[in-house]
Amino acid sequence: MGNFKEDIVKTKAFIFDVDGVMTNGGITPIEGGTDFLRTYNAKDGYAIAYAIRRGYKVCVISGGHGNLLQSRLTRLGVTKMYLNCMDKISAMKEFFEEYDVDPATTIYMGDDIPDLECMEQVGIPVCPADACSEVVEASRYISEFNGGAGAVRDVVEQVLRSQDEWAKDRRGVLGIASR
């Protein structure tokens, strides 16, 4: 295990949990009983969609579920998503094989106990500032930003900067905050 700043130079893939990572962990039940409102961060969304446009692979693995979550990720262009997922480690392995991704250079950002097993099996486990203590201990990089408040943006930006890929194309990114 080398230096974080040096290792992200080779990163080509990101894996994100949803609740507490892409959101602040807030979940708001709504009528119908099978879905939640979640509030995402526009700057995170820009970074994810931009990274995908530049050829990076982005996978989401979440115990969360619902049409609203799925359509959000689809619109961002997320490469692969596993929702309603109780076996995160198998999902992650399938992603690695299917997309020919090297675990050693992959970033996984989680925030809670169910993320730990995956975090132990990638080269670059990271977390938001407000992750649970076990996840903080398992992480090689702890963002100064909380989940839903820029933690995702922070790591995507750092990786792309290290490869001179950030802000090369300043157009807007479809799908962040529109249909």
Edge-first strand listing for the sheet containing 80-82: 80-82, 57-61, 13-16, 107-109, 124-127, 141-142
Output 132-137 pairs: Cβ under 8 A, ≥24 positions apart. 135/110, 135/111
Query: Coil, helix or strand for 117?
Result: helix
**Interface residue with a second copy, options 15, 91, 156, 176 (CB under 8 A):** 176
Site size toward a second copy (CB under 8 A) is 62
Question: Is residue 132 a contact residue for a second copy (CB under 8 A)?
Answer: yes
The footprint of a second copy on residues 51-110 (CB under 8 A) is 62-68, 71-72, 83-88
Of the candidate spans 2-10, 97-105, 121-129, 164-172, the one that interacts with a second copy by CB under 8 A turns out to be: 164-172
**In whole angstroms, what is the distance from residue 162 CA to residue 108 CA?**
17
Give backbone dihedrals phi and psi of 118, rounded to 5 degrees, phi first. Answer: -65, -40
| Furthest-apart CA atoms within the chain: distance in Å | 49
**Interface residue with a second copy, options 111, 125, 126, 139 (CB under 8 A):** 111
**Interface residue with a second copy, options 1, 2, 6, 28 (CB under 8 A):** 28
**Interface residue with a second copy, options 94, 113, 137, 144 (CB under 8 A):** 113
The first and second tokens of residue 147, run together, are 């989940």
| Sites of contact with a second copy (CB under 8 A) | 18-20, 23, 25-31, 33-43, 45-46, 50, 62-68, 71-72, 83-88, 111-114, 116-117, 130, 132, 134, 148, 150, 153, 167, 170-174, 176-179
